[in-house]
């Protein structure tokens, strides 16, 4: 294992997990965004990102910046991935873009370190060639130690119009073919993208960076002094930042705040099978296809169907005589689109939000620090939910009508006011007092209850 922490300063990986992933709706929702989702295999995107780093970085030097409403699930998934989450999850009370998020992480690291190399990675990207990725990490750390602000620039293989580009200098005299950055350019049209591809010194902006924390602070002093001063005022190592204070920070990306202004920027050409999974089309391109060039997951029957992405979660999907179509099904929504234009789902999410539809925000299941609540049916006069309580956890809720609780897995103590009862699998209790109902799982296995609420 390469020792990237050798020398005078340590290396930290800062994972940015604050996005909402609206282009992967209906699987990705604001309350449960794409970085938490298991699209393929057993790991979520954030767990895959963590495990990709463990062979080359000290697990104690990983930090994740996320929204406060996601921090409990981030911590749980971090623990499942083999990294103790204690002290490693940095939560933002509201989103203020990547510049404040990265600066907040730098302050957190510098509270215990004199200096450090910070590797910045979005938590929801995928990479095919992990060995080459590790080689580029080594090069980026070396460049950062020498004082550069490094951007991992992805070598383009086709004229992509959905990414911003970085123009590097024509010469590559720096370490590992790195080039000085000449400029950042916005997402181009097709003709311009083709020119960039032919030029050979343009690279996709991956949103992955490396720099010393001290260099970052120096650049903030020069280019974003007001933002830096405000962070100095509101940051406390062992005290969460309040929403009121955090909203004082400018909503600005690290690109606009620092990278497009600094004279220390270098682009590190990288070709390790990267994708930002920014749409169903990009996920389709990344995944393996069957003999008909389909990507299929779930309970699906496909007849005379080619070049389609079909993903089911709850129900049978039967597809016939389709080509180049995305069909994505969840328990409460189905998205159907031409595959090439599937990123336009963002406009659908905007309409759902305007109409006040809950589907834009959350699934039928909602994660809590103590467990998961899944809505099974909701009609006028009653609703049915499945409640899962993690081992050694408890939950409570206000009873506003008549509530029946039936244990289908595990054993629990249920109490409401002066009424208390122990229930095991197959047993139930009906409570009608308008009081707080408390459910305790004092066992080492998950508890599962069906709740029927009337009135």
pLDDT above 70 covers what percent of the chain? Answer: 98
Query: Do 320 and 408 fall within a single domain?
Result: no
CATH of residue 187: 3.90.550.10
Average the pLDDT over 351-376 and give the result: 95
**Overall domain count for the chain:** 3
Does one domain contain both 415 and 266? no
Read off the pLDDT of each residue in 130-134 and give the average, rounded to a whole number: 97
Judge whether 3 lies within some domain.
no
Instruction: Please state the rounded mean pLDDT for residues 89-99.
Output: 96
Residue 396 shares a structural domain with residue 347: no
Q: Are residues 340 and 370 in the same domain?
A: no
Where in the sequence is the domain holding 375, given as residue range(s)?
Answer: 365-454
CATH number at residue 423: 2.60.120.10
* 223 found inside a domain: yes
Residue 359 covered by a domain: no
Tell me, yes or no, whether 288 and 377 share the same domain: no
Same domain, 69 and 19: yes
Residue 143 has pLDDT above 90, yes or no: yes
Q: Does residue 430 share a domain with residue 383?
A: yes
Per-residue b/e over 16-29, b at no fewer than 16 CB within 10 Å? bbbbbbbbbbbbbb
Q: What is the pLDDT of residue 20?
A: 83
Work out the widest C-alpha separation in the chain, in whole angstroms. Answer: 78
Nearest residue to 259 (alpha-carbon basis) of 350, 192, 166, 191:
166
Q: In which band, very low, low, confident or very high, does the pLDDT at 337 lie, cut at 50, 70 and 90? A: very high
In this structure, the answer to whether residues 146 and 209 fall within a common structural domain is yes
pTM of the predicted structure, to 2 decimals: 0.91
Query: Are 402 and 455 contacting, i.e. CB atoms less than 8 angstroms apart?
Result: yes
- The residue from 333, 354, 375 where one domain ends is 354
The region of weakest confidence among 78-87, 172-181, 395-404 is: 172-181
- Whether 5 maps to a domain, the answer reads no
- Residue 146 falls inside a structural domain: yes
- Give per-residue pLDDT as tens, 5-63: 445 789 999 999 998 889 999 999 999 999 999 987 789 999 999 999 999 999 999 99
pLDDT at 432: 87
Do 218 and 303 fall within a single domain? no
**pLDDT given at position 455:** 79
- Mean pLDDT computed over 423-427: 95
Domain boundary among 216, 240, 275: 275
Residue with the larger pLDDT of the pair 418 and 293: 293
Whether the per-residue pLDDT at 139 is higher than 50: the answer is: yes
Boundary residue ending a domain (275, 303, 318)? 275
Whether 199 has a pLDDT exceeding 50, the answer reads yes
Residue with tokens 């390469």: 2
Confidence of residue 2 (pLDDT cuts 50, 70, 90): very low
The pLDDT value recorded for residue 4 is: 47
Q: Where are the alpha helices (DSSP H) in 316-400?
A: 345-354
> Do 289 and 192 have their domain in common?
no
Asked if residue 12 lies in contact with residue 62, where contact means CB atoms within 8 angstroms, the answer is yes
> Is the pLDDT confidence value at 409 over 70?
yes
Residue 210 lies inside a defined structural domain of this protein:
yes
Compute the distance between CA of residue 381 and CA of residue 358 in angstroms, rounded to an integer.
Answer: 20
Q: Give the C-alpha separation, 232 to 103, whole Å.
A: 10
Cα–Cα distances in angstroms (integers) from residue 335 to residues 292, 339, 448, in the given order: 21, 11, 30
Q: Is residue 360 part of a domain?
A: no
Are both 270 and 285 inside the same structural domain?
A: no
Same domain, 122 and 39: yes
Say if 1 falls within a structural domain. Answer: no
């Amino acid at each position: 294992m390469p020792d990237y922490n050798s020398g005078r300063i340590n290396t930290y990986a800062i994972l940015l997990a604050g996005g909402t992933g609206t282009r992967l709706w209906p699987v990705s929702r604001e309350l449960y965004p794409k970085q938490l989702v298991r699209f393929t295999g057993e790991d979520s995107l954030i767990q895959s990102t963590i495990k990709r780093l463990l062979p080359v970085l000290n697990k104690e030097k990983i930090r994740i910046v996320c929204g406060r409403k996601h921090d409990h699930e981030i911590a749980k998934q971090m623990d499942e991935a083999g990294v103790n989450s204690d002290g490693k999850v940095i939560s933002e009370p509201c989103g203020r873009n990547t510049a404040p998020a990265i600066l907040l992480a730098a302050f957190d690291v510098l509270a215990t370190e004199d200096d450090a190399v910070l590797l910045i990675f979005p938590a929801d990207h995928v990479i095919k060639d992990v060995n080459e990725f590790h080689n580029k990490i080594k090069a980026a750390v070396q460049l950062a130690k020498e004082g550069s602000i490094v951007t991992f620039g992805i070598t383009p293989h086709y004229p992509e119009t959905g990414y911003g580009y970085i123009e590097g200098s024509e010469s590559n005299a720096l370490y590992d073919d790195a080039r000085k950055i000449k400029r950042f350019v916005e997402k181009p049209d097709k003709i311009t993208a083709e020119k960039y591809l032919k030029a050979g010194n343009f690279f996709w902006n991956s949103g992955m960076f490396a720099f010393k924390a001290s260099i970052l602070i120096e650049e903030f002093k020069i280019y974003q002094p007001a933002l830096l001063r405000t962070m100095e005022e509101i940051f406390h190592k062992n005290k969460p930042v309040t929403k009121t204070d955090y909203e004082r920070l400018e909503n600005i990306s690290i690109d606009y705040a620092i990278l497009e202004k600094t004279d220390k920027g270098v682009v590190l050409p990288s070709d390790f099978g990267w994708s930002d999974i920014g749409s169903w089309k990009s996920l389709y391109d990344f995944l393996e296809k069957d003999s008909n060039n389909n990507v299929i997951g779930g309970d699906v029957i496909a007849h005379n169907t080619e070049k389609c992405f079909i993903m089911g979660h709850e129900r049978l999907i039967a597809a016939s005589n389709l080509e180049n179509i995305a069909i994505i099904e969840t328990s409460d929504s189905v998205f159907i689109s031409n595959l090439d234009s599937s990123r336009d789902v963002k406009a659908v999410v905007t309409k759902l939000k305007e109409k006040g539809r809950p589907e834009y925000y959350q699934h039928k299941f909602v994660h809590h620090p103590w467990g998961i609540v899944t809505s099974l049916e909701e009609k006028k006069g009653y609703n049915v939910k499945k409640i899962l309580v993690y081992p050694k956890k408890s939950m409570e809720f206000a009873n506003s009508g008549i509530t029946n609780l039936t244990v289908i897995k595990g054993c629990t103590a249920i109490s409401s006011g002066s009424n208390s009862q122990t229930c095991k699998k197959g047993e139930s209790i009906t409570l009608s007092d308008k009081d707080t109902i408390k459910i305790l799982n004092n066992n080492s296995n998950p508890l599962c209850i069906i709740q029927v609420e009337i009135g």
